[in-house]
Each structure stands twice: as C-alpha cells, then as structure tokens.
Chain A
Amino acid sequence: MKAKVLLLFILLTSIADADYGDNLLWRYSFGISDLQFSNSPDAICRDGYQAIFLHTNPYKIGPLNWNYAAGSKGAGRWGVSGSFRSYNLVDLYNDIKISIGGAFQADGHLYLSLETEIEREEFKSIYSYNHVKLIPQAQIKSKSESLSAGFSRICINKSYSSSSRYSMPFLTFSTYISSYSRFSFGYMQLEKTRGRWQICHDLTISEFLSLDLGYLSYPELLQCGLDFGWKKVKFSIIYQGIDKLDDTIIWGISTRK
C-alpha cells in the first residue's frame, strides 16, 4: 500500500511550477517537525493547532515584499490547513495565493495530504491571471525518521502560455541523530533538467532556543535560523546568504498548542 502510493506520486506527471517561497519555506517542509511549525502531513494531523507568520524583503530589496501566514488544526488521524501568501513588487507586480488543504493518517506510518492553491497574479494592475494548483504529498513516518514525496504545485489550469511548467517532484528525508539533533536532506526539481539539493541540521540548544543550519545547491545558498521560544510562541530570525545578491533576512513568529 505504502509503496503503491509513493509510486503513484512519483510517476504522476503533470504540470507544476516552483515558487519563490520555496526558497524560504523549505526549513518548514521536512517531516518530523517537533522543533517548529511544519507543513508536513504528520504535523497537520497532530493534535492541536499550529500557526505561523513570516515576512521578508527578499535580497533586501525594499519594494519587494513577501508575507506568508499559515495555520493548521489536527485531530490525531486527520487535520486541515490553510495559508495566505502575498508577494509583490510595489506598483509593478502583485501575487496573492490562498490555499486550503487536508491531511490524514492512512495507516500507522503513512500520511497523505492534499492542498488546493488559488493564485492571482497581477502585472501592473493591467493584466491579471488566475491559477489553480494542487500540492499532493505522501509521507512515511516512524518515531525517528520520515520520508516524504510529492509534487510542488500541479497546475490545474494554464493561464498563460509557459514553456517550462512541468512536474516538480520533491523528496525529503529526516532523521533524528539524537533527541535534540535532527538531520534532513531533500531534493526538489526546479527546472526541466536541474533540481536543488537541500541539507539541513536542526539543533535544540535549550527549551527556549533552537538553531538550524542549511545549504541549498541551486542556487547555492546558506541558511542559518534561530528560534527563540517564549511560552507557546516562537520567534524566528532566518538568514539566507547567497552569492552576488544581497542577503535575505526572514522574520517569523509561530505558535503551537
């Protein structure tokens, strides 16, 4: 059953596209998400709720804004999730995404999720395009390991002709090295012939402080994230360093109950 589901996702060929936010959200996409907010199916199913808000000016470009808010409510074997994302370049480009989705535990170790995303792109308030996309994901999770596979954004409609919209499968794996140290790696197809490898190491320094260090291969990007916990709230500062362009600093606040 598990193998068939995974195979179905991997063989699924449709059209999809990558998003700038993938650069920022990858630290939240790994399974085994005890350290922070996560979009992984098991985290959506987990009893209780979680929510996050992130903001950045990519590459310290003032007029370029990216905001993301997401939340999920789980009931053990199932959960629902939703998100809102705005990405705009003042006066020139505005891109809004709203998504709703759900996840469920298919059996003891297998989790599935499906998210529907509606996107509206406006070019200088003159041309606007609507996109509808699906984000399916399957995850096999044990106590200390997690393997996820899926597609980032299968486009249901093509609002404008685009030559490079094709399936974007991704695969992530996480494992705990110890109770306070987690190692993760993943792969995401970004373009027809090129993909991105990502490696991340999370370290829980104390109940109030955790640190993650990561590397993305395409483009080469180093990331360092610090999470400061205060009661049920976690404040995050994430630094991304990239060659040539200016650094990106992401500010975040998340909660989980």
Chain B
Amino acid sequence: MFLISIFLIPVSLFGQVRLSEVLYNEPGSRIRLEWIEFYNPDEIAIPLSNYRLIINSDTVNFSDGLRIGPGAYTVLCRQLLPDDGSDSFEGRWGDSSGYWGDYALENYSAIDCDFSLPNSAGAIILIDINGAYADSFEWNSEGLDGTSFERDNLHPLSNSWKQSSSTGGSTPGHANSIPIATEDYTISVQPRIISIGAGGILSIDITAPLKTSVEIEIFNDKAIRKRKFNGYFAGNSFRFTWDGTGDNGNHLEPGIYIILCIIDGKYDNTETIPVVISP
C-alpha cells in the first residue's frame, strides 16, 4: 500500500491508457484464467510499450509495437491459449479453437503474459515509461467467484470499481457491465401511431451518456421480432426512425408493435413502448 501511495500523484488522466477490468478470482479452482483489461479512452492509438505494469512486486514490460486503438480494449491474459489441454482465456472467453482472433467475439487484442494475481488481496499499478503514475486497482477481498471487477464506465475517469453485473461474470474486450442509472437516459417515441399507407415515420429519440450502447428491437404483439437495430452513441443523443418495415424491408402488418430499447446492454435499463401501425 505504501508503494501505491507514492504513485498516487495527480496527473492528467486524459490521453492515457486505463485499467478497466480485472479478474483475479477465477471460476472454481482454476488458476490460469486471470486477466487484466486495458482501455484507451482517447481518440488516437496509444503504444502500450509506453507503460509498465507493476503487479505486487513484479514488473511487466510491454514489447514495442503493441498499440491500443482509440476506444479499444486489450486484455493481458495469464494463459491466452491452451497448453496441452490446460485452461485458457481463449477456451473460456473465445471459441476454444486454440487460436485467438478467428471468431466474432475474439475481435479485440489479447496478450499472453506470465503473471499471477492473489485472490485475497493485491494491487496492480500502471506507470508510464518515465515512472509516473497512470492508474491502479487494488483489492482486499476475494469477491465473487469467477466475477471480475470493472471500472465504472459511466465515469471513466473516476477510480470507482464494482463487481461485474454481467450474466457471464465479466466483459473482457467489451464495454463494462456496470449499468447506467435510469435517470441517466431518456427515451421518447413520437408519434405512437403511424400509417404505412400515408408513409408515416416514427422517431425514437434517446439521450444517454457518451458511448452508451443502444439496442432497439421491434416485436409484433405475438413477441416475434421484426426489426433490430443497434449502435453506439456518437454524441449524447440518438435518433432512430422507423417507417413500419421489417428487417427484410417489407411493410409489416397493421396492428400493435412493441419497441424494446436496451440501454448499455442491460435489461435493467430497458423501456418497452407499444406503438401502432395502421393501414
């Protein structure tokens, strides 16, 4: 802890790689599934070799050429690929092919690195190449088995960490699961009834914090999904317009439809809005 207090000197956090998620208590009795996730909140790529990582008393240096793209994640894995059938990050969070990057969910950078994270208490400190403090995470309890700790993605510059609320227990390579609060977003649908014969268009307007993910699904009243849209907020507001067509581009049957808006990937943050299509 003394080591951490030395490094806790306020410096600008903009334009720096951040620690964003850590799994130190692997599921069950496994010991090779630990990982540390970095996030680049900046709009330009940042060389990871500009940093060093101090894990307890060990120092990890990154090789030249490793870069984290703007808004991208990189995961440092204790065992990226299986070694003679051993547990591996790729086997648990990838498609178990024995290769990294050959599957849709393996669309982020993952690096193999020899390190170990204790379950009971520990600290990770990120310093830049000049030795200046960049970021840190410390813990003094085991937490939930197989569940990571995530930085509060609503306030990325804060030092607030919570256990992942993802159903999978963690979100390596992807936005953290800590849900934004209901009061942090608004959803408005106007008008609530459109006529496809008159070329009516319905607007779904959402305001939410920057880079919040939004998923919109439109179901008919028999709960069969007819339209899906998802994306990220480039700004603080987002508008999706709907002309009463399905995913295939055809106009849907007149009747009641249900718009489901999922904010930040969390079903706690959903709004269900019934609308009507008239002939």
Whether A associates with B in a native complex is: yes
Summarize A's interface: helix, strand, loop or mixed. loop
Judge if A89 is at the interface, Cβ distance under 8 Å.
yes
What's the A-B contact tally at a CB cutoff of 8 Å?
75
Q: Count residues on chain B whose CB falls below 8 Å from chain A CBs.
A: 25
Q: Count residues on chain A whose CB falls below 8 Å from chain B CBs.
A: 31
Judge if B221 is at the interface, Cβ distance under 8 Å.
yes
Q: Which residues between 211 and 225 of chain B lie within 8 Å of chain A, taking CB atoms?
A: 217, 219, 221-225
Please report the C-alpha to C-alpha distance between residue A112 and residue B256 in the assembled complex, in whole angstroms: 33
Q: Which residues of B contact A121 (CB under 8 A)?
A: 254
Stretch at the interface among B7-15, B25-33, B169-177, B270-278: B270-278
> Which of A22, A23, A123, A218 counts the most B-chain CB atoms under 10 A from its CB?
A123
Q: Which residues between 69 and 95 of chain A lie within 8 Å of chain B, taking CB atoms?
A: 89, 92-93
- In the complex the two chains form, is B222's CB within 8 Å of A64's CB? no
Q: Which residues of A contact B275 (CB under 8 A)?
A: 92
Please report the C-alpha to C-alpha distance between residue A86 and residue B224 in the assembled complex, in whole angstroms: 21
Q: Which residues on A are within 8 Å of B, measured CB to CB?
A: 17-18, 20, 22-23, 58-59, 61, 63-64, 89, 92-93, 121, 123-124, 127, 129, 160-164, 190, 218-219, 221, 242, 244-246
Counting from the closest, the 4 A-B pairs by CB-CB distance are A123-B278, A160-B279, A20-B221, A219-B223
Instruction: Show 19 A/B contacts (Cβ-Cβ < 8 Å), sorted by A.
Output: A17-B253, A59-B272, A61-B258, A61-B274, A92-B192, A93-B255, A123-B193, A123-B195, A123-B254, A124-B278, A127-B278, A160-B254, A162-B253, A163-B251, A164-B253, A190-B224, A219-B222, A219-B223, A219-B225
Q: Which residues on B are within 8 Å of A, measured CB to CB?
A: 192-193, 195, 217, 219, 221-225, 250-251, 253-256, 258, 260, 267, 272, 274-276, 278-279
